[in-house]
A and B are shown apart, each in its own frame.
Chain A
Amino acid sequence: MKTLLKNGRILDPSQDLDIIGHLVIEDTQVSEFGAEVDQTDIDEVYDCTGMWITPGLVDPHVHLREPGQQHKETIASGTQAAAAGGFTTIACMPNTEPALDNPALIDFILDKAASPEAGGVFVAPVGALTVDMAGERLTDLSALKRAGIVAASDEGYPLQNSAMMQQAMEFCVQLDLPIMSHCEDLSLTKGASMNDGAVSAMLGLKGMPRSAEEIMVMRNCLLSLHTNCQLHVMRVSTWGAVEMIRQAKYLGAPVTCEICPMHFTFTDEAIGEFQTHYKITPPLRTQLDIDIILQGLNDGTIDCISSDHSPHASHEVEVPFEDAPFGHSGLESTVGVTLTMLTHRGILTPLETIRKLSTKPAQILRLEAGTLKPGETPVAQVTVIDPECQWTFDRHKTFSKSKNSPFHAMALKGKAMLTFCGGEIYRDAMFPDARYTINE
């Protein structure tokens, strides 16, 4: 069985490749790509004229909610959403019920992700750093690593105790595991639900000061510098955090960071009349922060883009603002928003866009993904993106179980059209049938 992706713009950041050409998937592997390929015995052809052929996208930050919170999302629905969003590998966060703090739960996740009901993408679990994410006792990280975790994190319940964080880093250096850290000093954000600024003062909501984020970014960067533990800062939102990460990198600390599309699209003014879809942690900040974030994306200080897919059921979201949970379901809007807000505005070149959505997150989490090179991934992971596709995001028409998206009704330019992980796992309804032919 040979599949030909014809006449697309092949973007592979792992080889700095940006050419017009074809790509052949033979059985489950990429066999060949380039301007000229062997076109004999082709079984099916996808005409990708005007589209990008890229390595399958990699999302370092997804909440699949299973086990324990299947009313928000399941591994099956979450992985289907990932496939529809163009992702072929996703890292899932440990703040489930119970938290992913023992190897049996990791087995459970991997089994579920590999089951036929699931979306057919690779799931890379992130283990809990402390037992029950309570911040009191470290988990058995070596057993978790053997079970298959790719990183450790106390996402959502950040470790406040610096001595314990240092110990965790020492363990992780030994095990060669990155630590993914949501940076927040909880003592500064008690009862707070949005950015501490003029809007929060006007709305009468308690604000999260930017220092709450920056203190922890700085602490974790310093601990990383001195222990040499690989640190991945999740979702930076302030200009100060970007500058601190820039500084830490300059000092040689093994630090990387990510950004979620909400933080480069909206400011805290988007909350308007208490719209809970705009509630996220760290919170939406100001235009100044967006400006520095865009600069950080452009110069590479911000390594990658994550969807920060945080599904919540509608009855949890339709509540007074301060009672609402943080986050949005973003897997299916990430490519559209990123291309609309960054690529089409000249902040990132197409190659850099794909680097931040695929190659770099794969390198950070040491995943066999993010490249088109034959044999470097277990199976072919390829995404075809139509950068010019104009569409309107409709949160009701998503695969995710939860519909809490601030991008609803937003006009976007750019969409994942085809996703291959081994074989075709998703074909978008907007991909014209005429572009697909089967050679008898």
Chain B
Amino acid sequence: MARNLLGIRHLTQDDIQELLSLSADFKLRILEKREVPNMSDQVVGMLFFENSTRTRVSFEQAAHYLKMKSANFSSGGSSMAKGETFSDTITTLRYERLNGLVIRHRASGSAALAARYFGGPVLNAGDGQHEHPTQALGDALTIIERKGELKGLQVSIVGDVEHSRVARSNAWLLSKMGAEVRFVGPRTLMPAHMQMLPGEVHYDLRSGIDGADVIICLRLQKERMADGMLSSITEYASMYQVNRESLRWANRDCIVMHPGPINRGVEVDDVAADGERSVINSQIENGIFVRMASLYWVFTSKAKSPDSPPPKLRVAKTVPAQPKTVARTAAKAKKAVAGSKKK
């Protein structure tokens, strides 16, 4: 049965550990030009309803290293543009005999919905403001490379928490692995009720990143200004920018992360983005290896992940079964032919 990667929230500590070990192993193999698993019998669909550069390229690179075939779709070019419903699109792809599906969609929960119709492994490449599990895995691998382990680390997630799937996935992963998570941002960009998300809430940057080992900056969408959630970019930058000055509040060996694309001069300044503390480029590179691990992980599972919603089949069988009588007569005919040959 298929295993899905719909979100970090659904994973156990063991799952995460397994994924991270796999990622580290794949990275070593690729860098040493050693062999990686050959998955050339699998075709994975890349279904990007929402624009994406890095996630998409990263998944394609991962598939390439595993020698998987990837079939690309974008919402503009697909029949969604012709009015096909989401579930019909997914069902169609299922009967196109794709083995797996990587999906990005603007709506939260769309990956879970796709998993209900697809019946095979579904990987969430970002669903609305819900989760972006492979980003969190890549970030975790990057942190482990620099810090050794996740347990006991002070991690601050700074910026537009409310609209960020990266913040949610990272918080789940890091807290499940024993790190202390802090959410930092203005009240207008922080959900009012945070008790079901793992982390402490800070509205002030200084207390939020005081003593932090890791700072994860979030991208600030310009549309938030239009929605009246912020009065101006300058005001936001003056209060929440991670820069040369504010980094002094964090630990001396603190690392700065950003899921990209970066708004330079808004959430980070050049010192934070390009300085020796920045690990932004490793994040991008590690993204490939964790996506390899994710693809490998969903395809090689024997058991179904217990927390992922069960794949609900609309139709019982992919190929209509041959009627038994026909099969039997065919077998008989074969036997008869074989018998006559013997004679």
Contacts and interface: CB of A to CB of B under 8 A. Distances in A.
Q: Do A and B bind each other?
A: yes
Interface of A: 196-207, 209, 273-274, 315, 318-323
20 contacts: A196-B192, A196-B193, A198-B194, A198-B195, A201-B193, A201-B194, A202-B196, A204-B108, A204-B127, A204-B131, A205-B129, A206-B129, A274-B112, A318-B85, A318-B113, A320-B86, A320-B105, A320-B109, A320-B110, A321-B109
B193 A315 contact: no
A198 B87 CA distance: 28
A200 B191 contact: yes
Nearest to B309: A273
A204 B196 contact: no
A323 B128 CA distance: 12
B165 interface: yes
Interface in B321-341: none
B168 interface: yes
B313 interface: no
B225 interface: no
Contact of B87 (A196, A202, A274, A319): A319
The secondary structure that dominates the B interface is: loop
A199 B196 contact: yes
Given A200-B193, A201-B194, A315-B85, 9 more contacts: A197-B192, A198-B195, A198-B197, A203-B108, A204-B165, A207-B191, A274-B112, A320-B128, A321-B109
A57 B177 CA distance: 56
Contact of B193 (A198, A205, A273, A318): A198
Contacts of B194: 198, 201
B109, B130, B165, B192 — most chain A CB neighbours (10 Å):
B109
B5 to A, nearest CB: 14
A322 B196 contact: no
B168 A273 contact: no
A205 B196 CA distance: 13
A196, A200, A209 — most chain B CB neighbours (10 Å):
A200
A93 B54 CA distance: 49
Given A198-B196, A201-B193, A204-B108, A318 B87 contact: yes
B107 interface: yes
A201 B197 contact: yes
A326 B107 CA distance: 16
Nearest to B227: A190
B129 A204 contact: yes
Given A198-B196, A200-B191, A315-B85, A320 B113 contact: yes
Contacts of B86: 319-320, 323
B109 A274 contact: yes
Contacts of B131: 204
B191 A273 contact: no
Nearest to A191: B227
Interface in B122-149: 127-131
A196, A315, A320 — most chain B CB neighbours (10 Å):
A320
A320 B107 contact: yes
Given A205-B129, A319-B87, A197 B193 contact: yes
Contacts of A199: 196
Nearest to A321: B109
A239 to B, nearest CB: 16
Nearest to A323: B107
Contacts of A320: 86, 105, 107-110, 113, 128
A142 B146 CA distance: 76
A307 B40 CA distance: 54
A201 B109 contact: no
Interface in B271-308: none
Contacts of A319: 85-87, 113
A203 B87 CA distance: 20
A322 B197 CA distance: 20
A319 B108 CA distance: 11
A319 B106 CA distance: 12
A397 B108 CA distance: 31
A273 B193 CA distance: 18
A311 to B, nearest CB: 18
Contacts of A323: 86, 107
Interface string B82-112: 0001110000000000000000010111101
Contacts of B195: 198
B250 to A, nearest CB: 26
Contacts of B130: 203-205
B129 to A, nearest CB: 3
A206 B46 CA distance: 27
Contacts of A203: 108-109, 130
A197, A199, A321 — most chain B CB neighbours (10 Å):
A321
Given A315-B85, A322-B128, A202 B110 contact: no
Given A273-B112, A273-B309, A274-B109, A201 B191 contact: yes
A408 to B, nearest CB: 13
Given A204-B131, A205-B129, A315-B85, A322 B107 contact: yes
A204 B166 CA distance: 11
Contact of B108 (A197, A209, A318, A322): A322
Contact of A202 (B85, B113, B168, B192): B168
A273 B192 CA distance: 21
B240 to A, nearest CB: 19
Nearest to A206: B129
B197 A321 contact: no
